[in-house]
Homo-oligomer: A and B are copies of this chain.
């Protein structure tokens, strides 16, 4: 078996990360967009199940442009904004990613749960306080998510709303959990 890349291989294979697809996907949904627009759009949606620093929304589209997956257009005027559009190749990459297996189950990171895990070294009161804080935070988050859901539910298709729904369910699961901890703190 030859290990040489095929001489007519389609793409010089830039490494496409989840954020790459996220960017292409967002542009696919919204049409031509500037990084800042992407940032705002992500903040209300995709950031809830794929967080990342906004600075990536400036670098990543450049890489994708270099790879021929996006097209860049400079805007006139003082603001040197750049508008990115999905190319044929970009759309194709997106489509083929979409039908590829996503792999592992979700990852979560939660400081509060970390503390709970080590809570043997914590007084009962401290534990209750921790749980109480979490209950408050989850109530807030749930309110935010519900507001978003309400605001977008007519405008958006059911598919795009589904992740939000999952986010809500997750948050409610956590809320219930911490509520129980607060009400009946487990002994060490």
Q: Is the CB of B173 within 8 A of A110?
A: no
Q: Is the CB of B49 within 8 A of A114?
A: yes
Write out, one digit per residue, whether chain A residues 129-159 have a CB within 8 A of any chain B CB (1) or not (0).
0100110011001000000000000000111
With both chains docked as a complex, state the minimum distance between the C-beta of A162 and any C-beta of chain B, in angstroms. 6
Q: Is the CB of B118 within 8 A of A25?
A: yes
The contact size tier of chain A is 35 or more
- A165: chain B residues at CB < 8 Å are 177
Copies in the complex: 2
Residue A74 lies at the interface, judged by CB distance under 8 Å to chain B: no
Give Cα A115 to B22, complex, Å. 9
Segment touching B, from A32-40, A64-72, A75-83, A96-104:
A96-104
Determine the residue in chain B with the shortest Cβ distance to A122.
B98
- A7: chain B residues at CB < 8 Å are none
